[in-house]
Chains A and B, each alone.
Chain A
């Protein structure tokens, strides 16, 4: 049951990304292009999602635990560190350059587009590199 629910949850997320237009890199770049043919659609994607998650998360957090786990796994960091700022800045450059963020890129992997496939492969490589760097940084800090 749990496995089926997780699969369908991913499917709903993917359908949402497609319907909203997030899987079209041109639409993302047009949202970011205020001085061109600006397409404000993506503001509504974010707005529509937050309209559900803000009250939804608040209600869910009234529970002591989720259905299938002992505890909620919320991010624990609260300080603004160098990693957060540099990572977000680099992420934004890539997002603007390719028009894909991780969810829409993975969702689009079966469309047969070579460019999309290539993007997902280098994205995974970038993730592995970042993880390796974080492991090294944390090891050096602890020494």
Chain B
């Protein structure tokens, strides 16, 4: 599906993500890495001290769609593949890779780069490259 270039809403949306990450750091002292926040409250080795704040942050994320619907009057545009097998494999790889590599787009890509972390800069370069190659293979069969 074709999508339009949305410079303004993408920039403002990105800035909101940044504002949220700064608030989380100054209040809870945590890096806003979503895979980290989610995985720390999953078994094995659940971090009990992070359970309540982690669940509240996730609840906030989940409330964003109903809030958006309430303000905007419509659902945001989403085009999700109907190939359930591919989506299941993709989910498995995203979850496994993010936790095994200690971070995802938010933790490494935004927060880590902002802290000039070498690990995050390398991780972001690696996942950008493999995601680009995956789409290249998927769409152009190369």
Listed in ascending order, the chain A residues whose CB lies under 8 Å from chain B are 2-3, 5-27, 29-30, 32-37, 39-42, 44-54, 56-57, 60, 63, 65-69, 71-75, 77-80, 83-103, 105-111, 113-116, 118-135
Residues of A close to B101: CB separation below 8 A: 83-91
Interface residues of chain A: helix, strand, loop or mixed (majority): helix
User: Are A122 and B80 touching (Cβ within 8 A)?
Assistant: no
Residues of A close to B106: CB separation below 8 A: 101-103
Residues of B close to A128: CB separation below 8 A: 42-44, 95
User: Are B7 and A41 touching (Cβ within 8 A)?
Assistant: yes
Give the distance in Å from the alpha carbon of A2 to the alpha carbon of B131 in the complex.
37
Interface residues of chain B: helix, strand, loop or mixed (majority): helix
Chain B, Cβ-Cβ closest to A101:
B105
| 18 contacts across the A-B interface (CB closer than 8 A) | A13-B32, A13-B60, A14-B63, A25-B78, A48-B11, A48-B17, A51-B14, A56-B22, A57-B21, A84-B102, A84-B119, A84-B123, A89-B127, A92-B133, A94-B90, A123-B95, A124-B38, A126-B93
Pairs of residues from A and B, 6 with the lowest C-beta to C-beta distance, nearest first: A87-B101, A10-B60, A14-B64, A20-B13, A48-B14, A126-B95
